[in-house]
Amino acid sequence: MARIERRPGHKILIELPDWALERHIYILAGTELLAKIQGDKIFIKKDRCNRCGICCMTLSHDGQYAKYGFIDDRGWCKFLRQNGEGYECELGLLKPFNCIISEAVHKKCKITYEE
């Protein structure tokens, strides 16, 4: 059963099957991570991406991004494009899941979550 309450402080109520209780659960709004459930903790996105692009400019050269040819000569994701004042992924809806759920680890990044 799932139910959405549409009023200030929108709520999504979901009864999870037993097999899902030990898994990480992600809730997306389009391709943007809105919330994540990890164990007994629920994190809701408080502050959204400011499109600084730093997360896509500092990819590891020894991980999956390099293995699948995502990194250009600068060490940036080859799908990162400048758009006005910020950056965006040119893959749009085809953006890899790992990019969608990756943690914000840079000081310049404005994404924050509330527990």
Q: Which of the four pLDDT bands, split at 50, 70 and 90, describes residue 94?
A: very high
Q: Is 93 exposed, middle or buried (0-12, 13-18, 19+ CB in 10 A)?
A: exposed
The predicted structure's pLDDT at residue 38: 87
Domain borders along the chain are: 2-114
**How far apart (Å, rounded) are the C-alpha atoms in residues 64 and 66?**
5
How many CB atoms lie under 10 A from the CB of residue 80? 20
* pLDDT higher than 90, residue 54: no
Is the pTM of the predicted complex or chain greater than 0.95? no
Tell me what the mean pLDDT of segment 65-91 comes to.
91
